[in-house]
């Protein structure tokens, strides 16, 4: 008998009961290692179903988080926002911000609401825009064009005094 034949010969002589007794502990051990639906233990909330690559931008209105994203339906593409309270029972608020091809939404919490930034392709090329959204989910100011030249990447930052800025690199 060759040494490499040993496990196979033992397996061939095993009865179904012995096989089951050998396999069950492994099955239970693997089942204990299986990841649950929510492995972090943090609450998981679906904000909206929106076919896009970007995650919603989030800012806080007091203690309530507010999500802002680009949504679409049979009326077209639009800016949507929703306060994330204990239970989401109402439809998202569609904001009167005229998008053409918006993407890359970011938000910064400010003293008067959330400063929302996004890139959009308008008649004069790709630009960086902003709007100020109140805690009541209304547009207080905007849309305002931030960039005077084409913008393709940016970052939204707080100015530390309740305002925000959106620096962007100029194309070469």
Tens of each residue's pLDDT in the chain, 172 residues? 455 555 555 555 666 656 555 555 554 444 444 445 656 666 666 667 677 777 888 888 888 889 999 988 888 889 999 988 777 667 789 999 888 888 899 999 988 889 999 999 877 788 999 999 998 999 999 899 888 888 888 888 888 888 887 777 655 4
Collapsed DSSP state (helix, strand, coil) of residue 20? helix
pLDDT at residue 75, as a whole number: 86
One domain, residues 144 and 64: yes
pLDDT at residue 20, as a whole number: 53
- In the chain, the number of structural domains is 2
One domain, residues 19 and 86: no
Containing structural domain, residue 90: 57-158
One domain, residues 97 and 145: yes
CA distance 4 to 71: 62
78 and 91 in contact (C-beta within 8 Å)? no
One domain, residues 14 and 68: no
One domain, residues 96 and 134: yes
pLDDT at residue 133, as a whole number: 94
pLDDT at residue 130, as a whole number: 92
One domain, residues 8 and 90: no
**46 is a domain residue:** no
| Residue 142: both structure tokens together | 């905007």
């Amino acid at each position: 008998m060759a040494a490499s034949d040993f496990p196979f010969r033992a397996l061939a002589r095993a009865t179904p009961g012995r096989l089951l007794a050998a396999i069950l502990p492994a099955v239970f051990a693997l089942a204990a290692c299986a990841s649950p639906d929510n492995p972090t233990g943090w609450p998981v909330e679906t904000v909206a179903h929106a076919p896009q690559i970007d995650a919603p931008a989030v800012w806080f209105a007091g203690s309530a988080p507010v999500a802002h994203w680009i949504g679409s339906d049979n009326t077209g593409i639009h800016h949507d926002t929703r306060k994330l309270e204990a239970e989401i029972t109402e439809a998202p608020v569609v904001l009167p911000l005229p998008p053409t091809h918006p993407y890359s939404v970011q938000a910064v919490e400010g003293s008067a609401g959330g400063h929302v930034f996004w890139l959009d392709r308008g008649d004069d090329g790709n630009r960086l825009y902003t709007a100020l959204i109140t805690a009541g989910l209304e547009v207080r100011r905007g849309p305002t064009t931030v960039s005077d030249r084409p913008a393709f990447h940016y970052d939204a930052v707080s100015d530390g005094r309740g305002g925000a800025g959106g620096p962007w690199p100029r194309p070469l």
